[in-house]
Amino acid sequence: MLHTTCYGQHNNRHQEIQTSTKGKSAFTQNTKNLRAHPVFAYNATMQKLKPTPHNQLQLPAPSDAALASSQHLRDLIRQDINVAGGIISFSRYMEMALYTPGCAYYSGGATKLGADGDFTTAPELSTLFGSTLAHVAQSLFQQSEPDIIEFGAGTGKLAFDILSECQNAQIPIRRYFIVELSGELRARQELCLKNFPQVVWLEHMPQAFSGVVIGNEVLDAMPVELVMKTEQGWSRLGVCSATEPDQTLTLASMQDEASVIAELIAQIPDADQLPTGYITEVHPIAIGFMRSIANMLLAGKQNSGKGGACLWLDYGFPAHEYYLAQRDKGTLMCHYRHHAHPDPFYLPGLQDITAHVDFTAMALAGVQAGLDLLLYTSQAGFLLPAGITTQLQKIPVENTQAYLPASNALQKLISPAEMGELFKVLVLGVDIDFPDHLLAQDRSHRL
């Protein structure tokens, strides 16, 4: 997501850390020097498990109705904590805060995406993003069924732009499936896509699919587990409710079997070397999701005899950059009306909660389940070879009202200082020869 942020003034849903170190690739064991990035401030009190008091965050005041909805969700979360014996995992908390029907962030009535919401994504920024992806899909349709399945379609804007470009450029597409967790967003998608009969909403991921899978900023919206290195070793942080009178939600160590912790920590390279007090996230739900995607594509290949590919566009790092000693508070971040802050307990249901994607873990999950790793690169390294500037050139320069905003948005999508470098693209597939021109800036060796 792109954010005109406020930590002081600017909110990106991405966090960079200043470093110059060497990393190992899980695939090739190559080493490299990382680029230096500005440090993104983070609330140090998170490390002490005491989130900043809400009244110090100076965020815009929600309406009475929004406050009541958040209070209702908080009550449901407390009930869940009580039923679970006093503590729930952070992933369960995040799932409830984002997806509880009716009152959570994605399933409630908040605007969420765009200028009037809390954050902006690439498809919301520009039609050029979707029209470029339409041509990438076309180049894969020669080896797969001519179908797309999009996970987490937001407002439907990406589907709209892809389908419009397919129509304009006569790209034959048979069906455009959407799997969306949020009923509220699905209703918006139905309105946005009402003129495209190819669109079919599915309640669940199908068992088999051949075609092109797309997910833009979906992996970062999946619940994560929080883990902390203590003097006694790694432990998982859960969510409990403080005692009367305020019953604030707070983090506390969970009592897990050693095998549970070992499985979670396996995602972190050199976990033993990280310092005591280090807090970070691990992504068992996104890893499980990638395995299911792999099984779906492999079954699609078996059924149809045709290949399939999945494209994931999101902000994140390879594991050796994610789990740096310097990034000792993790990447968990919350977004409320284009402001970013680190307190996951601020007004549950009214703010987005997100964490960066560990692209090494995503790639490994897919490859171990039987997919081929086809491409890993930056968003700029993907969109430029994919022809995004050709899409811009279709707008006459003389039409300044259309051309200038489009070229400005293109700049945001590809500039290394905006989304071009912080956002990455991971492509995995079965029985697909990925087109050579799209491999121009492949950096799979860095995973």
Ligand X SMILES: C[S@@+](CC[C@H](N)C(=O)[O-])C[C@H]1O[C@@H](n2cnc3c(N)ncnc32)[C@H](O)[C@@H]1O
Interface contacts to ligand X, rule CB under 6 A = 106, 113, 121, 123-124, 151-154, 158, 179-182, 185, 216-218, 221-222, 289
Which of 23/308 has CB closer to ligand X?
308
Least distance (Å) between residue 228 CB and ligand X:
25
Instruction: Find the shortest distance in angstroms from Cβ 271 to ligand X.
Output: 27
Please give the C-alpha separations between residue 54 and each of 4, 89, 328, in angstroms, as whole numbers.
21, 22, 23
Q: How far is the CB of 113 from ligand X (least distance, A)?
A: 5
CA distances from 149 to 173, 180, 331, 405, 432 (A): 11, 11, 29, 29, 17
Cis amide prior to 318 (ω within 30 degrees): no
Pairwise CA distance, residues 224 & 221, whole Å: 9
Residue 363: CB minimum distance to ligand X, A: 18
Spatial CA neighbour of 130 closest among 212, 15, 13, 12: 212
Residue 399 beta carbon to ligand X: minimum distance, rounded to whole angstroms = 26
- Over its C-alpha atoms, the chain yields an Rg (Å, rounded) of 21
In the structure encoding, which two tokens stand for residue 87, read together?
Answer: 């503590």
- Cβ closer to ligand X: 52 or 164? 164
Closest to 154 measured CA to CA, from 196, 195, 174, 125: 125
Give min distance, CB of 82 to ligand X, in A.
27
Quick check: helix, strand or coil at residue 262?
Answer: helix
Alpha carbons 329 and 352: distance in angstroms, whole number? 18
Torsion of CA 412, 416, 417, 423, to 10 degrees: 70
Of 185, 183, 166, the C-alpha closest to 174 is 166
Q: Is 278 helix (H, G, I), strand (E, B) or coil?
A: coil
Strand partners, 49: none
The nearest distance, CB 264 to ligand X, in angstroms, is 19
- Residue 284's closest CA among 366, 217, 224? 224
In this structure, the dihedral spanned by the alpha carbons of residues 328, 332, 335 and 341, taken in order and rounded to 10 degrees, is -30
Pairing of strands 147-151, 212-216: parallel
Q: Which is nearer to ligand X, 34 or 219 (CB)?
A: 219
Whether the CB-CB separation of 282 and 227 falls below 8 Å is answered with yes
Q: How far apart are CA 257 and CA 261, in angstroms?
A: 7
Of 185 and 419, the one with the shorter C-beta distance to ligand X is: 185
Pick the closer one to ligand X by CB: 301 or 335: 335
Handedness of CA 65, 67, 71, 73 (dihedral sign): positive
Nearer to ligand X by Cβ, of 149 and 265: the residue is: 149
Cβ of residue 421: shortest distance to ligand X, in angstroms?
18
- The residue of the chain with the least Cβ separation from ligand X equals 152
What minimum distance in Å lies between the beta carbon of 150 and ligand X?
Answer: 7
Residue 53 DSSP label: P
- Residue 207, classed as helix, strand or coil, is coil
**Is the Cβ of residue 77 or residue 213 nearer to ligand X in the bound state?**
213
Closest separation in Å from C-beta 158 to ligand X: 6
- 70 phi/psi in degrees, rounded to 5: -65, -40
- We find the least distance from the C-beta atom of residue 21 to ligand X, in angstroms, to be 30
Taking the least distance from each CB to ligand X, the nearer of 162 and 447 is: 162
